[in-house]
Amino acid sequence: MQFSRYTVCTVAKRERRLIKGDSSEASGGDPMELHEECGVFGVWAPDRDVARLTYFALHALQHRGQDSAGIAVGDGQTVLIRKDTGLVTEVFNNDDLNAMPGKVAIGHCRYGTAGAKGWESAQPHMSSIDETLIALAHNGTLVNFDSLREELSSRQISFRSHTDSEVAAQLIGYFTRQTHRLRTGIAATMNLIEGGYSMVLVRENALYAFRDPNGIRPLVLGHIGEEGENNWVVASETCALDIVGATYVREVAPGEIIRISDNGLSSEMGLAPRQQADCIFEQVYFSRPDSIISGRSVYSVRHQMGRQLAKETPADVDLVIGVPDSGVPAAEGFAQELDVPFGTGLIKNRYVARTFIQPTQQLRELGVRLKLNALSDVVADKRIVMVDDSVVRGTTSKQIVQLLRDAGATEVHVRSASPKVAWPCFYGIDTADQHQLVAAKMSTEEICEYIGADSLGFLSLEGLLACVPSRGYCESCFSGKYPVAIPEDFHHRFLPENKPDNLHPSYALKFDQVEQQLIDEGLMPSEQ
């Protein structure tokens, strides 16, 4: 059987060797290939237990972040917040939820991509507007938050953390104090920040939701109850709507600001929409398989990706297995396309804590064996194709290949249901340093040798785009073409021979430009 050398590398067992390089990048660090983004949720439902609805929704979004969790509730008079490090079940108990009555709430589960870990970085973040408190939850990353933090610090705004999310909360608070209108404060902030973001915000008597003008980070709107009832939810994924009994209505439009209060739902544009650039990794990895994007389940898309992968990179094997959970639908499609048996060759331990927070390198290196174990009864004496969602740092693939060989597999062929991840992401995925990406430093042949596989194949970018719903996507992690301009002070995160291809200039206004516009419009006093 002939394989394309552009997509598949085959390595004889006797030639297998370790590719030399920086060991701290090649074999150390976190054992997981990718870290999830954050998840956000908001609910306006005055006659319901909004804290518990938010708690259950965060359960559905737990896969998006396990560092910390938090809930903020507006009770008509003030905003109450409970947040801490850990999983949702570790942060909240029944007494906590009983102590948070209200009509409106937001929730957040965090994996940190900008700023330190710890309680101070847990969300929602607070800000004050005179006597009014607001709380903000954010999914994504802002590429220019350092300069904006400096601007606020020069105006005597203090911070508890070094996160981009707190900068956004303080920006909104600052401009709302000047203009006395929260939606104006949000719109002013949207004109200043750059990156990918979806945010939900609560005050004592209203819920706000808004999204970056490229639509990089997802946000959907749902309705609870009978038609005509003023009960609404917003969430990062539709799976959170399902768990609270909400009906999907639509996506929050890129650049849109939604406000929900006793007066119902209203909408205005904080920024004009720009070139649509949905994060394509929502389809590949981040979203739960039961979530719906553009009318199709993520499961069905990943299944089709597996079929396309089999067409592009076939293999003569006895069995196809998937790396749980995100690699399984693609593995099923791969097996169906080649008419090869599909089996469960890897068992996932769903009750082990995330290993990247463990204090020692030795424990981190045990991460894969803590999370996965091979079924020797299934894989022994068989030629195996192992399908995973992606190969990012290569460490996980290397360890899983060895697990399967230890379990008796005679051949292990690795297939990635996404193209090579060779460029860093700055919009909410934990791959913000190109030095960490194995495909940026090694050829397909070298990666194959490094992970110890008999062959290695990647889905082409054209093949991936043929499988996902037709819309605009951010594919910068594959191509190096960025829809939101990457500032020059980020260029040290690229390999010396590479630089980002910014598809557009920076759209963000300067701080003084926004202030002057507000002054000219009579929305802000000329003297501070």
Active site residues: 38
Torsion of CA 79, 85, 90, 93, to 10 degrees: -20
Task: Give the separation between CA 417 and CA 389, rounded to whole angstroms.
Answer: 5
Chain CA centroid to CA 512, Å: 32
User: Cα separations (Å) of 169 from 227, 306, 516, 517?
Assistant: 33, 41, 21, 21
d(CA 91, CA 131): 28
Nearest-CA neighbor of 492 among 422, 430, 427, 432? 432
CB 313 within 8 A of CB 415: yes
Report residue 389: phi and psi, to 5°. -70, -35
Upstream peptide bond of 124 is cis (omega within 30 degrees of 0): yes
Query: Alpha-carbon distance 273 to 210, whole Å?
Result: 12
Give the CA-trace dihedral at 511, 512, 516, 522, to 10 degrees: 50
CA–CA–CA angle 255, 35, 498 (5° rounding): 75
Q: Which two structure tokens, joined as six digits, stand for 215?
A: 């639509």
**d(C-alpha 248, C-alpha 238), whole Å:** 7
Asked if residue 322 lies in contact with residue 332, where contact means CB atoms within 8 angstroms, the answer is yes
Separation of alpha carbons 265 and 233, rounded Å: 11
| SS3 assignment, position 512 | helix
Which of helix, strand or coil describes residue 144? coil
| Helix orientation angle between 328-338 and 298-312, rounded to the nearest 10 degrees | 50
Q: Are 11 and 453 in contact (CB under 8 A)?
A: yes
Cis peptide before 325 (omega within 30 of 0): yes
Q: Which residues have CB under 8 Å from 354's CB, separation 6+? A: 32, 66
Q: What angle do CA 509, 157, 69 make, to 5 degrees?
A: 90
Assign 3-class secondary structure to 65-134. Answer: CCCEEEEEEECCCCEEEEEEECCHHHHCCHHHHHCCCCCEEEEEEECCCCCCCCHHHCCCEEEEECCEEE
Contacts of 471 (CB under 8 A, 6+ apart): 276, 278, 294
Q: Which residues contact 243 (CB under 8 A, 6 or more apart)?
A: 56, 57, 59, 60
